[in-house]
Amino acid sequence: MKKITLLLIAFLFSSVLMAQQSPTTNQQEVQQTVIRFFDALSNRDSVSLKAHSTADITLYEYGQVWTMDTLIHRAITLSQSANFKRTNSFDFINTTTDKNMALVNYRLQSVITKDDKPVTLQWLESVVLVKIKKQWKVKHLHSTLIKRS
C-alpha cells in the first residue's frame, strides 16, 4: 500500500510540474512587445514607445486614465534628470493569445534612479495587446502599485 501511495504522489507531483509549460512563440512575441514598451519608457524614447502602442492606447495609472500624451509628459518630459536610469524585471504570470488579441498579466519591478537616488517600485499589471499589420501593439495597460521602497 505504501508503494502505491508513493507512486500516486510521485505521479501527481510530476503532472503538476509538467503543467507549467514554456510559452509558445506567439506568447513570447507578446511578452517581448511588453518588454520593448518598457525599454522605450526606460530610454525615454517616445518614438519607440509609440511604435509599440496603438494610437488610442489607454493606461490606467494611480486611479487615473492616461493617454500616450499623458505618459510622455509624465514619464519623459517631466523626467529630465541627467542621472536617470530605469531597470525593469518581469515575472510573467499569464499570457493568453488568440489570432489578433492578447492578454498579459505580470509582476513588474523597476529600479528608478534619479539624481543618484534609487527607488524600487513593484506593480501588478494587466496589458491588452492587439495585432496590427502582423505586429503586436499595447492597447490597454492597467497598473496597480504594490510596493515602493
Q: Is residue 9 part of a domain?
A: no
SS3 106: strand
Question: Does some domain include residue 3?
Answer: no
What integer is the mean pLDDT of 104-123?
Answer: 94
Please tell me the distance from the alpha carbon of residue 88 to that of residue 90, in angstroms, as a whole number: 7
What is the tens place of the pLDDT at every residue in 7-63?
Answer: 445 444 444 444 457 889 999 999 999 999 999 999 999 999 999 999 999 999 988
- In this structure, is residue 40 part of a structural domain? yes
Predicted structure pTM score: 0.83
Provide the number of structural domains found in the chain: 1
Q: What is the mean pLDDT of the chain?
A: 87
User: 135-148 and 53-61: which strand pairing?
Assistant: parallel
CATH number at residue 48: 3.10.450.50
